[in-house]
Amino acid sequence: MQIIVQVALVLAVVIVSLALMRGGSNARHLAIRRIMLVLFACVAALSIFFPELLTRVARLLGIGRGTDLVLYGLIVSFLVFMATTYQRFRHMESTLTKLSRRIALDETPPPGRDDSLESKEAEPARRLTPPAHGGQ
């Protein structure tokens, strides 16, 4: 029975990781996260008030103790956290790259135009970033 639980846990990790890596921060993903949070809070409260219930559930699943079941749950939760954090970081990095490219293109003078011949009065209105020397 224990091998069945182990296989189920590994499959859960793989499925959740693939679902989270798939992308999307739409309403459906947000709803799933909120449901999982409420479910986690309910299970945590029940396990605090009725620890013997957690041990019974663990034994039904073929796990020796309730604390081992909690440990397995924490491992799965940590992997889900890592996957969502990685996905969020990857999205933020992509957005920053696009923004940096847009700023670089906006600050590049058009071809055939020589900035050294123009007056310095028009440049501050066009510039998106402050001058490097910190002055006016």
Span 7-66, pLDDT tens digits = 776 777 667 666 655 655 677 777 777 787 778 778 777 888 888 998 999 999 888 888
- Greater model confidence, 2 or 46: 46
23 vs 98: CA distance, rounded Å: 18
pLDDT confidence tier of residue 93, bands split at 50, 70 and 90 = very high
Tell me the whole-structure pTM to 2 decimals: 0.55
Percent of the chain past pLDDT 90, that is, above it, reads 14
Query: φ and ψ at 21, to 5 degrees?
Result: -75, -20
pLDDT reported for residue 125 = 54
Whole-Å CA distances, 22 to 17, 56, 88, 96, 103: 8, 35, 12, 20, 29
* Euclidean distance between CA atoms 85 and 3, whole angstroms: 30
Q: What is the dihedral of CA 74, 77, 79, 84, to 10 degrees?
A: -160
